Structure 1
Amino acid sequence: MANCGRKACYFFIFIRIKWKPMSTTYNKDMGVGVIGAGKFGLALCNLLAEKHPVKLYSRRQEDVVRFEASRQLRDVTLHDNVTLEADLEHLCNTCEVLIPAIPSDNYPELVQAIQHVINPGHFVIHATKGFIQSNANPDTQSHRPFTVSEYFEQFTTVRRIGMIAGPNLSHEIHQGLPAGAVIGSRFNEVITIGKELFSSDRFQVFGSNDLLAIELAGILKNYIAIGAGITEGLKLGSNARSLYITRALAEIIYIANRLGVSSTSFLGLAGVGDLMTTCQSPLSRNFTVGYRIAKGENIESIIKDSIETIEGFKTLKLIHNEWRYTSRIPIAQVLHEILFDQKDPKSLVDVFMKATGENDVEFAL
């Protein structure tokens, strides 16, 4: 009987040690790790560096040489609080907060490289507006494309994950112009940390617990922006573009609803806010793609000229594969035909001019 008592005591001691609650904050002295040295990654670096030490990871050896010589990457001068890290594993071991800002296609390689290093004590706030198609696990063959947070949850032990999203053109952030974003996460501590890290006099940060909605809003607007660029290239005017954007918003909310997400978050910065910017600015890559297609260029030449990844291309392909048999996404369907089947860009006009429906704001009913 005494032995049973001792075993129970040891068991409860083990439980107390084993299940010690994780900290809801991070070690500020360790700095923040930004993964990805593209234009947006650099913009986030300089935002963060206004208040915190930042370690920036780039896999390009030429970036290391250039940074050491001039503290410049891609014509951007980096803040004095930014250091360049060429060892990804070291970055993960020395930073509790990781901010991946890389193309969606690069996540399988990234996660494979760090999955044995990162752990439940890390916080991840990604900045990628794209789906990940994975065949890495046989159990996921029938799974729809992953968002970044879903991919991390599937293939790593990290759970405190969030996303920063909104109307954030990197060029304007580099100029110091006012902007804002939303941190989406199911964990309040991730939102709190994100706000503390990014908020400044020139950058307003909000929070949302609907992470999937925030991710889908950022992803789905990519193909909508391509269509907006086509309306500009065809010189259809502001009225037509506003009509197009409104019908497109209803379409992407329909997709989100089918995936179990409410429309609420689509009416904030990650949805309408991002649409307003990316569907009207020549600084938007996806908008520029649509404009160039309307002017007669082909996809191959556009891809060849593009330095940064055009997420809208892949978004359209994946949506076409998943939803091609429904009549509720006519804009995605015709854009896929324009981009990949050489259909006349003017066919987009027929889609949004002949849209039917008794209610203007169908998705809110």
Structure 2
Amino acid sequence: MEDQIAVIGGGSWGSALAILLAENGYQVTLRDISSEQVKEINEKGSNSNYLPGVKFPDGIEATTDLEAAVQDVKAVVVVVPSSVMRSVAKELKGLIAEETIIVSATKGIEKDSFLRMSEVLKDELRAELHKNIAVISGPSHAEEVSRGIPTTVVAASKSKELAEEVQDIFMADTFRVYTNPDVVGVELGGSLKNIIAIAAGIADGLDYGDNTKAALITRGLAEIKRLGVALGAEAMTFAGLSGIGDLVVTCASQHSRNRRLGTKIGQGKSLEEALDEMKMVAEGVEATKAAYSLAKAEGVEVPIINQAYQVLFADKNPREAVNELMVRSKKHEIEEVVQNKENW
């Protein structure tokens, strides 16, 4: 049991984590719903749909059988799209042993409920399992992790012991793991940055430059922090790996599916057309809906998120959205600093 780990979800990130864990010496069962994909992994040691050109190491066995995958394992790593997290959690409810560690590696917010992924897991899993739930997040494109490119992430849990246990499971020569007790901030950072990445992609599609992207990243981070703190996160978390770290890589990388989606929209495609051309899920679309509604409910000012919502869901012209951001009323850069300065 101590050397057995189940990874639920055989997409690019699930496959990359399975490779990492196998290279760390664990026997990994990778569960996916696609029988064709499972057959390819087992027979060819590859996942050409999601990680073309990457060879799987020994120690990984794929299966479509969820119950078999999670039997007698040290940890279950859940890496499925946010849209199916609840249904998978329901299936897992009676299958996971009480001592099993549960790691959410999905970055997203559930549609309609606006719950974070660890909250969805707690909603569906047995109460005695709640103490075992941790989160792993940070700037970590699967394409790079699967090839052993140095990467740094964060493991989050209110329990220091659990966070450190997850840290030990994933830590490797090319995969450094820090710990953080702020689960709310780590999950929100990993979800909300996808919205700013869509906005950055739209700017790319409009042929704007580095100045524009730097502004979106910087002011986007301010919005993420404001909304995150209103929802119970610690402000300093957003200065870390799941905040500025994940934001920078997602807004700038060729691997970013959310930036790629935004680029298509900036080039004139509708949201539906852009999504039809995407092979993988862009979590930022549903996150935009959630953040827009949450910000309204909390009374938090999030102009970039608001404009992203209007472009995605109200057919607003992207250039008009950027123009409205530029001609807003004058602001201090850091309001809380200015408010604390006498006679400034």
331, 339, 343: which one pairs with 2:316?
343
Question: 1:327, CA displacement in angstroms?
Answer: 6.5
Deviation at 1:283, TM superposition (A): 1.2
Question: Match for residue 230 of structure 2?
Answer: 258
Q: 1:319-350, CA deviations, whole angstroms, 9 ceiling, x for partnerless residues? A: 23333474711111111111122211112322
Question: Offset at 1:119?
Answer: 4.3
Q: Once the two structures are superposed, what CA deviation does each residue of 1:33-68 show, in whole Å capped at 9, x if it has no partner?
A: 100000111111111111222111111111232223
Match of 1:150 in 2: 119
Post-superposition CA distance 1:47-93 (Å, at most 9, x none): 11112221111111112322232121133321111111321112222
Deviation, 1:174, is: 2.1
CA distance in 2 between partners of 1:240 and 1:40 (Å): 29
TM-score (norm 2): 0.90
Q: Which moved more, 1:92-101 or 1:314-323?
A: 314-323
Matches within 5 A, 1:16-95: 27-29=1-3, 31-51=4-24, 52-74=26-48, 75=52, 76-95=54-73
SS at match of 1:276: helix
Provide the rounded CA distance (Å) in 1 between the counterparts of 2:114 and 2:97. Answer: 24
Which residue of 101, 106, 112 corresponds with 1:123? 101
1:235 Cα shift? 2.2
Q: What displacement does 1:94 show? A: 2.1
How many residue pairs match? The answer is: 329
* Alpha-carbon distance, 1:356 to partner: 4.8
Distance 2:62 2:170 in 1: 19
- 3-state SS, counterpart of residue 180 of structure 1: strand
Question: Which of 345-354 and 312-321 deviates more?
Answer: 345-354
What is the identity, as a one-letter code, of the residue corresponding to 2:194? Answer: N
- 8 Å CA contact 2:227, 2:300 repeated in 1: no
Aligned-residue RMSD, C-alpha: 1.9
Question: Structure 1: which 5+ residue stretches go unaligned?
Answer: 1-26, 135-143
1:351, 1:288 → 2: CA distance? Answer: 23
Indicate the residue corresponding to 1:296 in structure 2.
268
Q: Equivalents in 1 of 2:135, 2:172: separation in Å? A: 18
> Offset at 1:357?
6.0
Cα offsets for 1:197-222 (capped at 9, x unmatched): 21111111100011111001001111
Alpha-carbon separation, structure 1, partners of 2:269 and 2:102: 39
Q: 1:311 to 1:321 in 2, by over 3 A?
A: same
Bigger-Rg structure (1/2): 1
**Any unmatched runs of 5+ in structure 2?**
none
1:310 maps to: 282
Residue 139 of structure 1 aligns with which residue?
A: none
Q: How far apart, in 2, do the equivalents of 1:95 and 1:356 lie?
A: 56
Structure 2 SS opposite 1:124: strand
Within 5 Å, which residues of 2 pair with 1:1-365?
27-29=1-3, 31-51=4-24, 52-74=26-48, 75=52, 76-133=54-111, 144-157=113-126, 158-159=129-130, 160-324=132-296, 326=299, 328-356=301-329, 358-362=331-335
One-letter code of the match for 1:145? F
SS of alignment partner, residue 72 of structure 1: coil
